[in-house]
A and B are shown apart, each in its own frame.
Chain A
Amino acid sequence: MDIYGQSPAEVREERPDGRQVRKVGVAESAVSATGQTLRTSGVGSCLAIGLCDAEREIAGLGHPMLPRFADHASPERGKFVDTTIDDLLDDLAEAGARPATVDAVLVGGAQMFDFSFSDGDRESTRSVGPRNVETAEEHLRDRGVDLRAERTGGSVGRSVKLDSATGELTVRTASERTTEVL
């Protein structure tokens, strides 16, 4: 729907200060070239993927749930680690980032619980969290993106804030009550 002759996305784009903090939900991603803080909360076995071009002050944050797009019938690319990385890299390039200077930060991929109660097949006996992390590391390598830092694994949930201007990523945990800047 157009409002006042423009799409909401166009209006928002013209109003860079109107959205200082932008929340990224599960299976969603966002890119900012206007100094916004991107945040996502309560990351358990899911993964928060931050991609930053600090030189050009452009960054993106995604929050996928599962490792690989090709292993599932879902059409939603934002649900998967590999397609989230691909789409974020495309969106960053479109926003003016230079691929050679983009680096990555990974947060999450915890093994929160042991669901071995009923698992029979090999695929599901391995927790989704560690598989999300492995897939991201591998896919970033394939795409030639440096992994600047990661806070992954363990059994704690994490919340993430990414300053798109500096590439500084803040990780908080609830159960350990820690805050760390990467």
Chain B
Amino acid sequence: MTVFETTNPEEIVAHILNSVDEEFFPLINSGNLKVNLTSVKKISELIAFLNESNELSAALDDFEPTDKTVSVIARGPFIGFGYKEPVKLAELISDAVGFSSSTANVTQNGRKILKAQIKILMPNILVRGDVNER
């Protein structure tokens, strides 16, 4: 698992294209398949929101070309959303196709620290080239 930390939409697109299997290259190069910039924008907003919350660190996980999904992972000593944040979280994951939680051992300054983790699976990263985006 490689984790890629950014909220920059251009870097997210580059990460997705770098993760795409070679079999998709002809489709992308011919314009029959393209990165869905609307989804990329939502992912960028989600990562930014998660990074603003508490001591969370959110990042992109590997792109899954077969499912055309990308995972957004957030980790922290405590993951908490309060006041109006649950509403914002709900809005940002309204398109998600997966939401799970677990723990992860993260090495920090040479020490292993147990952190809470949420994984949000965002869909439709690659769409047909002739699909107009909203």
- Verify that A and B bind, or say they do not: no
